[in-house]
Amino acid sequence: MKIFSSMTGCAAALATVVAVTFSGMAVAQEFPSKPIHIINAFAPGGATDTAIRGLTKNSDAFIDQPIVIDSVTGGGGVAGILQASQAEPDGYTLLVADTVMTTLALFQDNLPVSADDFRPVGVFNLRGAWFLTRPSKNWKTLDEFVAAAKERPGELTVGVPALSSPQHLAIIAVEDTYGIDVNIIPYGGGAPTMAALLGDQIDAAMPGVPAGLDSINTGDAVFLVASTDLELVKFKGDLTSFADVGIPHDLGIWTAVWAPKDTPDDVMARLAEIFGGMAQSNEWIDFAKSYGVTPIWKPLDEAAAYIASSSKSMTDLAKLIK
């Protein structure tokens, strides 16, 4: 009787394990059964917005449900990131955000949200920032801007998408390398930063690529330097990078899709499958290259490791903030 009882118990335990396993498989296979919403924490029309819309443009080839992009701006990205972190961890509300996820905490204390509140579904592109000005300023090179900044310390204004952004750190790298001091102003995204520049509200801007590309090509903006090496099919002119001018920092900006940290593993795996399909499609690769970003795909744990290793240079620069 004891042996029979033991065997019965083992059978029951095995049945439970099998049931749970198949239940998880069923959840993954059924997901998604309704639209997936992705919160963009930055202004519509900026680099992050352009990237996620380009990535998901052909989503119907990979899932039967629509993907909806919701812009939730404010606080240099904090508002949207916070809202996404508070969403139900069921895979139906995600976040798209770039390197700012690891730089927020470098600039601001006691934030209500951080990268630790999320799990990366995957990193899908790598891009840079570029330093731009207006033709009316008569600065055709970075050296000419630097000379003007030295003549007017603390007076020249430079717009960035957010104070906690890698674009902000790129300006810090310029200041530190050349021993200058400029007045840095946040605008809540690449698009409004460019609007401020083109409206002559500021002297220069450091938006993320590709914000400002059309303005450069039409002559409405002047390119000075890029934060990393770029390959831009549509760019008219020579691309000078930080390395080319002796700035000892290579500041690439990655963009990733994130899910709330308690999202189940099976849902995460399904999301990685969906977004990995889009990120490795010819449609996305061609689109990305056309507007100046490098298409990559690093899912789940690989993405987490990549994100952790990329933060060192930015951490070092953040220490230079006055």
CATH classification of the domain holding 274: 3.40.190.150
Encode pLDDT of 94-107 as tens digits: 999 988 888 877 77
Sheet holding 222-226, edge to edge: 183-186, 157-160, 204-205, 130-133, 222-226
Q: Which CATH number does the domain housing residue 206 bear?
A: 3.40.190.10
pTM: 0.76
Whether 170 and 207 share a structural domain: yes
Domain that holds residue 206: 130-245
Q: What does the CA dihedral 184, 190, 191, 194 come to, rounded to 10 degrees? A: 50
Encode pLDDT of 68-94 as tens digits: 999 999 887 899 999 999 999 999 999
Structure confidence at residue 195 (pLDDT):
97
Domain boundary among 211, 245, 279: 245
Domain boundary among 184, 212, 245: 245
The Cα–Cα gap between 322 and 310 comes to 23
* Three-class DSSP category at 23: helix
Report the range of poorest mean pLDDT among 140-144, 160-164, 190-194: 160-164
Q: Is 183 within a domain?
A: yes
The Cα–Cα gap between 31 and 25 comes to 10
Structure confidence at residue 322 (pLDDT):
54
For 227, residues 6+ apart whose C-beta sits below 8 A from its C-beta are 128, 129, 130, 131, 166, 167, 170, 173, 206, 241, 242, 249, 250, 251, 252, 253
Q: Is 8 within a domain?
A: no
Average pLDDT over residues 306-318: 80
Question: Is residue 228's pLDDT more than 60?
Answer: yes
Beta bridge partners of residue 208, listed in sequence order: 129
Whether 99 and 167 share a structural domain: no
Cis before residue 210, ω within 30 degrees of 0? yes
Average pLDDT over residues 222-247: 87
Question: Is residue 297's pLDDT more than 80?
Answer: yes
The Cα–Cα gap between 40 and 49 comes to 7
Q: Is 12 within a domain?
A: no
- Based on the structure, what is the number of domains in the chain? 2
Whether 122 and 144 share a structural domain: no
Helices 142-151 and 166-178 meet at what angle, rounded to 10? 70
